[in-house]
Amino acid sequence: MDFELSKEQHDIVQAAREFALGEFPDRALEFDREETFDYAIWKKACELGFVGMNIREEYGGAGLGLLEVCLVMEEFWAVDAGIGGAILTTSFGADLIDMFGTEEQKIKYLTPLPVGKGITAGAITEPDAGCDVSMASTTAVKEKDEYLINGTKMFISNGDVADYILVFCQTEPKHSDKHKRHSWIVVESDRKGFEANKLRGKLGIRAHDTAELTFTNVRVPTSNLLGEEGNGFSELMAFFNKTRIPIAAQGVGIARAALEEAVKYTTKRHQFGQPLSSFQGIQFKLAEMATKIRAARNLVYEAAWKADHGVMDPVLISMAKWFSGKIAVKCADEALQMHGGYGYLDEYKVQRIYRDAKIVEIYEGTKEIEKNIIARNLLS
Q: Which of 212, 229, 334, 364 is catalytic?
A: 364
In a domain, 2, yes or no: no
What's residue 308's pLDDT? 97
pLDDT band (50, 70, 90) for residue 22: very high
How many separate domains does the chain show? 3
Does 364 qualify as catalytic in the annotation? yes
Same domain, 84 and 125: no
Same domain, 310 and 273: yes
In a domain, 1, yes or no: no
CATH number, residue 346:
1.20.140.10
Q: In this model, does residue 325 exceed pLDDT 90? A: yes
pLDDT band (50, 70, 90) for residue 290: very high
Same domain, 252 and 359: yes
> Domain end: 230, 262, 283, which one?
230
What's residue 102's pLDDT? 97
Percent of the chain exceeding pLDDT 70 equals 100
Task: Over range 352-368, report the average pLDDT.
Answer: 97
Q: In this model, does residue 1 exceed pLDDT 80? A: no
Task: Over range 120-147, report the average pLDDT.
Answer: 94
What's residue 185's pLDDT? 98
In a domain, 41, yes or no: yes
What's residue 9's pLDDT? 97
In a domain, 21, yes or no: yes
Q: For 309-318, what is each residue's pLDDT tens digit?
A: 999 999 999 9
pLDDT band (50, 70, 90) for residue 3: confident
What pTM, to 2 d.p., does this model score?
0.96
CATH number, residue 133:
2.40.110.10
Mean pLDDT over all residues of the chain?
A: 97
> Domain end: 202, 230, 258, which one?
230
Same domain, 70 and 202: no
In a domain, 28, yes or no: yes
Same domain, 345 and 274: yes
Same domain, 214 and 242: no
pLDDT band (50, 70, 90) for residue 2: confident
What's residue 130's pLDDT? 85
In a domain, 312, yes or no: yes
What's residue 209's pLDDT? 97
Same domain, 185 and 65: no
In a domain, 343, yes or no: yes
Task: Over range 61-78, report the average pLDDT.
Answer: 97
Q: In this model, does residue 31 exceed pLDDT 80? A: yes
Q: For 212-263, what is each residue's pLDDT tens digit?
A: 999 999 999 999 999 999 999 999 999 999 999 999 999 999 999 999 999 9
Which residue segment(s) compose the domain that 56 sits in?
Answer: 7-110
Same domain, 225 and 238: no
Same domain, 364 and 306: yes
> Domain end: 110, 133, 166, which one?
110
pLDDT band (50, 70, 90) for residue 171: very high
Same domain, 100 and 199: no
Same domain, 16 and 93: yes
Task: Over range 262-275, report the average pLDDT.
Answer: 96
In a domain, 115, yes or no: no
Same domain, 245 and 361: yes
- Secondary structure of the chain in HEC code, one letter for each residue: CCCCCCHHHHHHHHHHHHHHHHHCHHHHHHHHHHCCCCHHHHHHHHHCCCCCCCCCHHHCCCCCCHHHHHHHHHHHHHHCHHHHHHHHCCCCCHHHHHHHCCHHHHHHHHCCCCCCCCCEEEECCECCECCCHHHCCCEEEEECCEEEEEEEEEEEECCCCCCEEEEEEECCCCCCCHHHCEEEEEEECCCCCEEEEECCCCCCCCCCCEEEEEEEEEEEEHHHEECCCCCHHHHHHHHHHHHHHHHHHHHHHHHHHHHHHHHHHHHHCEECCEEHHHCHHHHHHHHHHHHHHHHHHHHHHHHHHHHHCCCCCHHHHHHHHHHHHHHHHHHHHHHHHHHHHHHHCCCCHHHHHHHHHHHHHCCCCCHHHHHHHHHHHHHC
CATH number, residue 96:
1.10.540.10
Task: Over range 331-345, report the average pLDDT.
Answer: 97
